[in-house]
Structure 1
Amino acid sequence: MKFVYYISTIALLLNLSACRKFVEVADPKDELASKVVFSSDATATAAVVGIYADMNAVNYQFANVLTTFLGSMSADDFVYAATFANFDEFKNNAIQPGNPYVATFWSQPYNYIYRANAIIEGAGKSTELSPAVKNQVMGEAYFIRAFCHFYLVNLFGDVPLILTADVRKNTNLPRTPKAEVYASVINDLKLAKDLLVNTYAGNGERTRPNKVAATLMLARAYLYTGQNALAETEASNVIATTGYSLLDNADPANAAHLSKAFLKNSNETVWQLQVVNLSLGRNTWEGNTIVPVSSPLYRMTKDTYGIIPAFETGDRRLAYWINTYAAPATPTNILYYPYKYKVRVGTVGSPATEYSMVLRFSEAFLIRAEARIQQQKYDLGRDDLNVIRRRAGLTDLASPTSIATGMAKVEQERRVELFCEWGHRWFDLKRWPSTTGAAGKTRADDILPLTKPAWKSTAQLFPIPTEAIRSNVNLTPNPGYNQ
């Protein structure tokens, strides 16, 4: 079975039946041909929205629980308290190539990339779509392709770059150097930014990427590739856009309180995935999985180097984004679990109140702060960090006196702001250089051995899945894995 195994052709014409919540389109009576999909605004829209529906249709997928939970377990702020071999491999940074979740991290993004390519090609050739819908669906498809390649390259390093829907051409593609993948991600996000508009398509909910989502991801991609001036510019563009704000009211009953940040369509939302499966009152898979009935299995780290001691006294994020459970013991053992999502099971039959957050407005301030400090714009970088801190009820920082002291503040604020969101902490530790000056080492090499004695630098990349190696003669393993 070739590489095509991971970019399932069955999904090519995009599961219109799964899109009913977004666009009311009758299912075709036979297999759709591309020219049929892109012969009307309704079917073309259903094609792109179907990708989001599939991203969030079931639990433990790349686009919901897995990237957030296993990314956090791979770092240092989150553990699974029971014994489960497939999770333990991430917690211990000793992942086996046959781990089924590694296969999911690989196969699902490539599936969405393939479908995005089909939309780019089909909509691009169509003469029947209205100009507005054509721009919208192509812009979203470029965004999806960039988003998925971004996560693939951060999880696996060099990965095949798939830019067409031609499965024969894509079979047995070798790994593309990381720099080239990033260049493609940036190009796709620039195309998406040009094609999309600031308003949200469809019913106006923030569940389809818009120009602001593309701009925020572009700022992140520039930051990750060291293009700090460009990252600053794009983050500033996000911050200057009306309709977004940090929820910072001090009164928990107020709709603008930070405890409301993860509600559906909150002003802090740049892009969320809408709930697809509302059975039994589910809102988000994250909340349904992590909010416990009694003792939590998913717990925040609280030892000396854990995230709980990292919060400063009075930080509202600790008060409102993390919850506690008093385990029966003598003395009482206080357990901590993420509480950004607060609904485990809502009222059956009632509308959801929370959607899964993918991109959040606060990241723009953190990106700009880091980009400015890297350019030695210390006062401006401090100001951005202080915006985040004031919302959390903390005192202002003084200006850093060097890049090193400024980056220590950036690392702290990113850790306590973005915990348990889409692998941010894991990616940060891997992308920042070691502060010890050791050549080729990263912050992961500084930090993770403190709590993970068996840590090896090669664990910074996940293994290429066993099935991918077996099915593609041109794929090579990552260093440190015996494949």
Structure 2
Amino acid sequence: MKIILKYMKMKWTSSFRKTIVAIWALIGFVGCTDFVEADPPQNIMISETVFEDASTVESAMADMYVSMRENGMISGNYGFTTRLAIYSDELDYYGFNTRLLEFYQNQVLSPNAEVLSWWSEAYAVVYSANAIVEGLEESTDLEEDERNRFLGQALFVRGFIHSLLVSVFGDVPYITSTDYAPNNQVSRMPEVLVYDRIISDLERAEELMGMSTIENEERTVPDSFAAKALLARLYLYTEQWELASTEATELIEAFSLEDELGMVFLKGSPETIWQLHHGEFPGNTQEASQLIIPSIPGQSFALTNGLMSAFEDGDGRRSEWVDSIMNAEETITLYFPHKYKAQFDVTESLEHSIQFRLAEQYLIRSESRTHLGDLVGARKDLNVIRNRAGLQDIMADSESGLLEAILTERRVELFTEQGHRWFDLKRTDRATLVLGMLKPYWEDSDTLLPIPEMELEANPNLLPQNQGY
């Protein structure tokens, strides 16, 4: 029945979407960045002088980070944090937006505008990164230190964005140039090869950025540590346990945990590896504005009962990272994430949007050590995170028991952060086991989202559609 409903909805909108394809493509090329030529051919840079001076390249890079922060998969407004939280079992959704209801009810259709936005915004950022890579590789005017830093950042962004795409769509194209003609006819690459390309880009990015001597005190631009953090995550996802443990260890040795739970998400936290700057003006992060409940009624999202019950008694994360609100009659209480705190009437924003932090690396190493048979080391890493939350050591002494404890710890440590819970359910093959009991429309094929229908119509080489759509 679900597949039939999807087909019916796709069919009646096809003529309308064909009209939009050309417009969307034009907007995409014009909107990539202001340093990429808008008129055909779009793969030619306006001027080589952009890459003669570090300040102009810096501006180009900043434009790319703004695009990532404001739109697409890691945006606090439109990204994984809220959408994958309602798709899984972290957040309930109380609104009436049909696109979000499709996520909440696990009935996402291929014309879904949120899915199309994720795909389009991602490849726009990839286009920008490729333009920078190409320009830097031809440049002979920058100092070697500057060139390495910028080239490493652009390669990191290219790998990072593709890692987001493959995580929700499966097989996707891996785009490494700005040549629009072949890009318009590109085919999807098997997921395993996509991960190989991502890791290759990240390894080169880590090496290049590791040569840079530029200070990065606020952690608002990616550096070699950000590349290590993403590599550790991807090695975990691809079950390369030794490599995941090695990368995580290097980060654990280079950073320190923030002792005070209430200060973990402040912009000066010592455990932040990479974060996106909040924006030009003081104010809230997008995460705070989306997740904090102002009133009942009026809420969009609230933490699920399942997540709330996952916290152990005495867990400081429950008191520091969760808040609640009651309706006027005091008959309804809703809980919401309070990792990012709303800041009004401030002269300086106190938080940025964190993408990688050290606690994840302890959990990555704990899980990797478990699979490698080092249960003592795995427990030690897990207990570092538990002890900070005010909890006693866990004494699990079997591989299965420890893995179960690690997944539970990831759930309460990383909740409503960039879709971690969803990806954990997916990579451990637990999505159907857990969500099949909670979501009445759940199907096994829902572990992947559909390729946007407009993209399939514009480029049939992207076929076949993901199963179930």
- The answer to whether structure 1 residue 413 and structure 2 residue 425 are counterparts is no
Counterparts of 1:152 and 1:362, CA distance in 2: 24
TM-score, length-scaled by structure 1: 0.86
Counterparts of 1:79 and 1:198, CA distance in 2: 45
- The answer to whether structure 1 residue 234 and structure 2 residue 234 are counterparts is no
CA offset at residue 175 of structure 1?
Answer: 0.6
Q: 1:4 to 1:126 in 2, by over 3 A?
A: farther
Q: What residue is the counterpart of 2:324 in the other structure? A: 324
Letter in 1 for 2:444: S
- The answer to whether structure 1 residue 376 and structure 2 residue 376 are counterparts is no
Q: 2:355 aligns with which of 358, 361, 367?
A: 358
CA offset at residue 13 of structure 1?
Answer: 4.6
Q: What residue is the counterpart of 1:333 in the other structure? A: 332
CA offset at residue 143 of structure 1?
Answer: 0.6
Counterparts of 2:136 and 2:338, CA distance in 1: 41
Q: 1:246 aligns with which of 250, 253, 257?
A: 257
SS of the residue 1:299 aligns to = strand
Matched-pair contact (CA < 8 Å) for 1:15–1:50: no
Q: What residue is the counterpart of 2:304 in the other structure? A: 301
SS of the residue 1:336 aligns to = strand
Matched-pair contact (CA < 8 Å) for 2:149–2:212: no
CA offset at residue 97 of structure 1?
Answer: 1.0
SS of the residue 2:270 aligns to = coil
Matched-pair contact (CA < 8 Å) for 2:148–2:212: no
- The answer to whether structure 1 residue 197 and structure 2 residue 175 are counterparts is no
Moved >6 Å (runs of 4+): none
CA offset at residue 466 of structure 1?
Answer: 1.4
CA offset at residue 6 of structure 1?
Answer: 9.1
SS of the residue 2:273 aligns to = strand
SS of the residue 1:97 aligns to = coil
CA offset at residue 127 of structure 1?
Answer: 0.1
Counterparts of 1:79 and 1:199, CA distance in 2: 44
Report % sequence identity.
37
Deviates more, 1:293-302 or 1:413-422: 293-302
Counterparts of 1:263 and 1:236, CA distance in 2: 24
CA offset at residue 420 of structure 1?
Answer: 0.4
TM-score, length-scaled by structure 2: 0.89
Counterparts of 2:220 and 2:232, CA distance in 1: 20
Counterparts of 1:340 and 1:429, CA distance in 2: 22
Query: How many pairs does the alignment contain?
Result: 438
Q: What residue is the counterpart of 2:18 in the other structure? A: none
Matched-pair contact (CA < 8 Å) for 1:346–1:352: no
Deviations 1:63-102 (A, max 9, x none): 3232110011111011222232111111111101111110
Q: What residue is the counterpart of 1:24 in the other structure? A: none
Letter in 2 for 1:298: F
Q: 1:203 to 1:151 in 2, by over 3 A?
A: closer
Counterparts of 1:185 and 1:211, CA distance in 2: 15
SS of the residue 2:75 aligns to = helix
Matched-pair contact (CA < 8 Å) for 2:303–2:337: yes
Counterparts of 1:220 and 1:336, CA distance in 2: 29
CA offset at residue 50 of structure 1?
Answer: 1.3
Q: What residue is the counterpart of 2:14 in the other structure? A: none
Matched-pair contact (CA < 8 Å) for 1:11–1:115: no
Matched-pair contact (CA < 8 Å) for 1:2–1:472: no
Counterparts of 1:160 and 1:311, CA distance in 2: 40
- The answer to whether structure 1 residue 458 and structure 2 residue 445 are counterparts is yes
Counterparts of 1:317 and 1:199, CA distance in 2: 37
Matched-pair contact (CA < 8 Å) for 1:7–1:114: no
Deviations 1:156-199 (A, max 9, x none): 00001101121112112111000010001111111111011398
CA offset at residue 277 of structure 1?
Answer: 5.0
Matched-pair contact (CA < 8 Å) for 2:148–2:211: no
Counterparts of 2:395 and 2:27, CA distance in 1: 50
CA offset at residue 103 of structure 1?
Answer: 0.7
Matched-pair contact (CA < 8 Å) for 2:263–2:269: yes
Counterparts of 1:206 and 1:198, CA distance in 2: 17
* Structure 1 alignment gaps of length 5 or more: 17-30, 249-256, 433-441
- The answer to whether structure 1 residue 5 and structure 2 residue 1 are counterparts is no
Counterparts of 1:144 and 1:3, CA distance in 2: 26
- The answer to whether structure 1 residue 160 and structure 2 residue 173 are counterparts is yes
Counterparts of 2:451 and 2:160, CA distance in 1: 19
CA offset at residue 463 of structure 1?
Answer: 0.7
Q: What residue is the counterpart of 1:49 in the other structure? A: 62
Counterparts of 2:213 and 2:333, CA distance in 1: 42
Q: 1:32 to 1:198 in 2, by over 3 A?
A: closer
Q: What residue is the counterpart of 1:266 in the other structure? A: 269
Q: What residue is the counterpart of 2:457 in the other structure? A: 470
Matched-pair contact (CA < 8 Å) for 1:78–1:301: yes
CA offset at residue 12 of structure 1?
Answer: 4.9
Counterparts of 1:338 and 1:475, CA distance in 2: 38
Deviations 1:194-227 (A, max 9, x none): 0113989577321101111110100111111110
Counterparts of 2:34 and 2:152, CA distance in 1: 17
Q: 1:395 aligns with which of 369, 375, 392?
A: 392
Letter in 2 for 1:235: A
Deviations 1:452-481 (A, max 9, x none): 122101111011111111111111211000
Q: 1:61 to 1:146 in 2, by over 3 A?
A: closer
CA offset at residue 329 of structure 1?
Answer: 4.4
Letter in 2 for 1:158: D
Q: 2:231 aligns with which of 195, 208, 218?
A: 218
Q: 1:307 to 1:204 in 2, by over 3 A?
A: same
Matched-pair contact (CA < 8 Å) for 2:145–2:212: no
Matched-pair contact (CA < 8 Å) for 1:7–1:107: no
CA offset at residue 342 of structure 1?
Answer: 0.5
Letter in 2 for 1:463: P
Matched-pair contact (CA < 8 Å) for 1:114–1:164: yes
Mapping 1:21-100, distance limit 5 Å: 33-57=46-70, 62-65=74-77, 66-100=79-113
Matched-pair contact (CA < 8 Å) for 2:33–2:63: no
Matched-pair contact (CA < 8 Å) for 1:260–1:266: yes
Q: What residue is the counterpart of 2:435 in the other structure? A: 448
Deviates more, 1:7-16 or 1:123-132: 7-16
Letter in 2 for 1:341: Y
Letter in 1 for 2:358: F
CA offset at residue 3 of structure 1?
Answer: 12
Counterparts of 2:221 and 2:380, CA distance in 1: 31
CA offset at residue 57 of structure 1?
Answer: 3.8
